[in-house]
Every structure is written in C-alpha cells, then in structure tokens.
Amino acid sequence: MANESMKLRVKTGEKDGKNFWDSCGVLFINRNAAGEITSIQVRHNMFPGVDMVAFPKRDDDQE
C-alpha cells in the first residue's frame, strides 16, 4: 500500500512578475497494492481539527 501527500497552496500575490504562495493544507492519498485510490483526506488550515474526505478512510489505510 502506498501513501502520497501533496501540499495545498494558494496564490497570495504577485510582484515584478514573481508569484507568492501560502501553504494552506495537505492532501493525503491512500492507495492499495494495485495502485488504486482507496481514500483521500484533506487537512486545511481554515478548518483546524477537521478531516475532510473524498472517500471514507479504511481500517487498513496507513496514516
């Protein structure tokens, strides 16, 4: 089983052609041995302590 995590970032501004970004959360993707997505969780700094899910987390998913 594989785990992936991705940073969520939002563009906060632009100056002299340079973009500025703020990290605002993390996206966790859990996959089974075949590489299929089993669950997705999102943790966002606007909602501290709240786990948002696209697929329900399974008991065999690793944290």
Straight-line distance from the first to the last Cα atom of the chain, in angstroms, rounded to the nearest whole number: 11
Residue pLDDT, tens place only, 19-58: 999 999 998 888 888 888 888 888 888 888 887 777 666 6
pLDDT over 60 at 1, yes or no: no
Q: How far apart are CA 4 and CA 19, in angstroms?
A: 26
